[in-house]
Chain A
Amino acid sequence: MPNLHNSGHEGLDELLGAARQGATPDELMHMESTLDQFTAVVASGVRAADDTIPEPVLSPRSTVTMFNTRIPRRAAAIVVATMFAAGTAAAAAGGVLPTPFTASADPVLVDDTSVDDTGLDTDSTLEGITDDTGVDGTEVDDDSADDSASDDHSLSERDFGNCEAWLNGADNDPASPAFAHLADEAAEEGVTIDEYCTTLVDEHRSGHGSDDADDAGDDHGGSMPTLPEQSRGDDHATTPSLPDDRGGSSGRSGGSNSGSGSSSNSGSSNRGGGDDTSGDD
């Protein structure tokens, strides 16, 4: 029991003591009606075990509860996720995202050299898938050689363009920035710009003619260098991303009537199992 009426300060003790005074008639004014209700509720047995200390109940119209519900949170999460996915898809379609997310290379930003590099990347991507075929190993070596000469190639491409402009131009100024490099190159070789450019254009056209011939011979076309690799890989693998299925497809093609139910094994084992089963049958 707290001892609040003996603080040692007379005025304070009187104040606290007065608060403890007995009931006044005013305070017991509603006793009869309250007791009627009290006894009726107790007698009716209306008891709630969880009502011993009732919790404050917020009004359903409260704005706080409206924003605390889960439905708006879920809706907000869905909207955010949709916007993120749509933005990523749009960026991928526009070629803004880096290689793993890019749907296609932007031709404006890619010159011939980078097209070659794209082919190299695709080859290297497919290397781990089709290395069993023994085809891509040679191509990787070729592409790496192209890579080592890529700087010179791009330089000559720029000179080739400038030379074509020089040769086709009516009023050429050797002092202009575009032709200054040609003048330097020609001076280094001890020839005129016309002679230098004529030689360069001839060499370039002859070189490209042989490349086009190679491409035509492969039936690949120059615009999509990656597709031939995939089509070539299709001869050996049905789906590049699922190397096991490649063996599985071979297994099916080799032993499709084997009736073996275990499809999780490798193609060779399936094929062997199919042969064994057919042999047993």
Chain B
Amino acid sequence: MWILGGVQRPALDDATFPDVLVRALEGDRSAAEQLFVDLQPRLLRYLRSLEPSAADDIASETWYSIARGLGSFRGDLAGFRSWSFSIARRRLIDHRRIAARRPVAFESLDDTAGVMLMGRSDDAADTALDHLSGQGAADTIARHLPPEQAEVVLLRVLGDLDVTEVAEVMGRSANWVRVNQHRALRRLAEKFGEGVIPAGDPTISLA
């Protein structure tokens, strides 16, 4: 249950999703709101942690693609999230390719460097986990992990995707996802957990 504009609305779950999807396709704005409220924070945290400067634009493009393809979508809530993250990830890749070919002005370079320096200035010891926001937690994960390991964890946590769905989104094998997830969680546990986790610790084999 969540509140928007002073009105209580039911949370989106597997039971309510088929009805919400049908109504959204019929143009029901409240159904579209339910999809948006469920998905948009996840998408934004994922995109902002990986591409802070263009996350909002990429999210907007993702919603446009979702609207165009919603009529052909078939599946449950987990499938909808996986499909949406696939679109978002491809939009992110498109953005990075275009940005790589675009000449960067000195001002924007300075801005980007400033953002990066600011984001990476704090250490794990300085991170107050108790007061982390959703975006702050996502940023912390992205900051302390290699890019692919961070993406695995973010997709699993933010998208509520299982190993197979993450593998499909990233175009990798399920085993590759399991290995990278294990390494990522071990690294995060070394940073934020209690003591050093020995290699092969079964308690962090979460798949």
Bound Cα distance A48, B132 (Å): 40
A64 to chain B, nearest CB (A): 10
Bound Cα distance A37, B27 (Å): 11
A76 beta carbon closer than 8 Å to chain B: no
Q: Are B68 and A19 in contact (CB under 8 A)?
A: no
Q: Are A22 and B65 in contact (CB under 8 A)?
A: no
B147 beta carbon closer than 8 Å to chain A: no
Interface of B is mostly: helix
Bound Cα distance A22, B12 (Å): 13
Q: Are A23 and B161 in contact (CB under 8 A)?
A: no
The residue that B27 contacts in the complex, of A3, A15, A20, A39, with Cβ under 8 A, is A39
Chain B: interface residue count, which band? 35 or more
Count of CB-CB pairs between chains A and B under 8 Å: 183
Q: Are A15 and B140 in contact (CB under 8 A)?
A: yes
Q: Are A8 and B204 in contact (CB under 8 A)?
A: yes
The residue that B138 contacts in the complex, of A7, A19, A23, A24, with Cβ under 8 A, is A19
Q: Are B97 and A58 in contact (CB under 8 A)?
A: yes
Q: What residues of chain B lie closer than 8 Å to A20, measured between beta carbons?
A: 134, 157-158
Bound Cα distance A10, B204 (Å): 12
Q: Are A37 and B67 in contact (CB under 8 A)?
A: yes
Interface of A is mostly: loop
Q: Are A15 and B192 in contact (CB under 8 A)?
A: yes
B52 beta carbon closer than 8 Å to chain A: no
Q: What residues of chain A lie closer than 8 Å to B32, measured between beta carbons?
A: 35, 38-39, 42
Bound Cα distance A10, B4 (Å): 32
Bound Cα distance A34, B62 (Å): 10
Within 8 A of A (CB), among B163-201: 163, 185, 188-189, 191-194, 197
A70 beta carbon closer than 8 Å to chain B: no
- Interface code B53-71, partner A: CB below 8 Å = 1, 0 otherwise? 0001000100111111111
Known: A15-B140, A16-B157, A23-B40. A8 touches B134 (CB 8 A): no
Bound Cα distance A43, B32 (Å): 12
A43 to chain B, nearest CB (A): 5
Q: Are A19 and B87 in contact (CB under 8 A)?
A: no
Q: What residues of chain A lie closer than 8 Å to B72, measured between beta carbons?
A: 47-49, 51-52
Within 8 A of B (CB), among A6-61: 7-12, 14-24, 27-28, 30-31, 34-35, 37-39, 41-43, 45-49, 51-59, 61
Q: What residues of chain B lie closer than 8 Å to A8, measured between beta carbons?
A: 203-204
Bound Cα distance A173, B45 (Å): 106
A244 to chain B, nearest CB (A): 63
Q: Please list 8 pairs of residues, one from A and one from B, whose beta carbons are closer than 8 Å in the complex, sorted by A's number.
A: A12-B185, A12-B188, A18-B133, A19-B141, A21-B133, A23-B134, A54-B65, A59-B101
**A: which residues have CB within 8 A of B?**
1-4, 7-12, 14-24, 27-28, 30-31, 34-35, 37-39, 41-43, 45-49, 51-59, 61-62
List 7 additional contacts besides A11-B192, A38-B63, A47-B70; criterion CB under 8 Å: A11-B129, A15-B192, A19-B157, A30-B60, A38-B32, A42-B71, A59-B101
Closest 10 interchain pairs by CB?
A9-B193, A11-B192, A18-B137, A41-B67, A19-B137, A21-B134, A18-B132, A23-B41, A8-B203, A47-B71
